[in-house]
Structure 1
Amino acid sequence: MLSAVTFLADPGAPDAIDRLADTLSALVAGVAAGLVGDAVIVAPPGDAELTAVAEATGATLAAYRGGNPFAAGAALARRDWVLCLEAGDVPADGWIRTLDRFVGTARPGTGLGRLRRPGAGLSARAVARIEARFGARTARAGDVVRRDNLRAGLPFKPRLRVRPLIARIDRA
């Protein structure tokens, strides 16, 4: 099982809660399949509507005060593996089987698994290619990483080897 950590950078944006709802609703299939055990929403503190969404969905709300948001979410995650997402990310068909296989077969020194993000910008895709070759220093949206690696602090020391996964993340 894994924890899903979703980062909402700007809760005040006009469609922010809708994007978050799209991501959380996509995770329901993972909960039903027994893959997703809990959800953590990471956002700047103080939004009443966001608090209501977290309570309604059973997610834990983590206050983001800078740094890597996925490390803040990992502090409240209850499972050994963390799926890092941004609000609006919707895992495409096949993600449950892919992540279940990755989590079930990964050894302690595996590094991290990375879902494809075809909708990412050019710079994000370039960074992903560089990290695939030389290793990742930080967790990004679409990564599946051990909670202990996130809690140990960022940047990762040594760099974590990136294992590309065949599933992808679409944007809502």
Structure 2
Amino acid sequence: MISALIHVARPADPEAIERLADTLSALVAGVAAGLVADAVIVSERMSDTLETIADASGATLVGSGAAGPWRAGARAARHDWVLCLEAGDLPREGWIRSVDRFVGTARPEVSLARLRRPHAGIGDRLAAHIERLFGARSPRAGDLVRRETLLAGSGLSPRQRPRAMSAGLDRS
């Protein structure tokens, strides 16, 4: 089982709240399949709307603060692997099988896998390509990461080369 971390960058934006709802809805299939056990909503600013959504969905709401969204979310996560998502990320068909297979077969020294993000901008795609070659310093949205790696706080050390996963993400 995994925990899903969902970062909401601008909680005051009504579109960001709609994207959060879309992402939570997309994770329901993972919950039904027994893969996603809990969700953590991470935001720099709290709002009544976020609290209402977290309460209604059974998710935990945390503030990111100086630690950054992924580390703050990992503190509240309850499982060994966390899936880092931005509000609006929608896992594509086949993601459950792909993530479950990776989590079940990953060697102990492997702590990072990456879902494909074809909607990302050219700068993000170029950075992801470089990270595949030389290793990543920190996780990004679309990454499946060991919780203990995020809690260590020193980034991915030694620089981890993300394992490419066959599944991908769309945007709402």
State the shift of 1:114 in Å. Answer: 0.2
Structure with more of its chain in helix, by fraction: 2
1:1-172 correspondence to structure 2 within 5 Å: 1-172=1-172
**TM-score scaled to structure 1, two decimals?**
0.97
Unaligned runs of 5+ in 1: none
Q: C-alpha separation between the residues in 2 aligned to 1:119 and 1:53? A: 26
What RMSD over aligned residues (CA atoms) do the two structures have, in Å? 0.9
State the shift of 1:111 in Å. Answer: 2.8
Letter in 2 for 1:123: G
Unaligned runs of 5+ in 2: none
Instruction: Deviation per CA, 1:55-96: give whole Å up to 9, x if none.
Output: 000000011213431111000000000000000000000000
What is the percent sequence identity of the aligned residues? Answer: 59
Runs of 4+ residues deviating >4 angstroms: none
State the shift of 1:154 in Å. Answer: 3.4
**TM-score scaled to structure 2, two decimals?**
0.97
Q: Is the 8 A contact 1:111 1:163 kept in 2?
A: no
Q: C-alpha separation between the residues in 1 aligned to 2:27 and 2:14? A: 22
Moved more, 150-159 or 136-145: 150-159
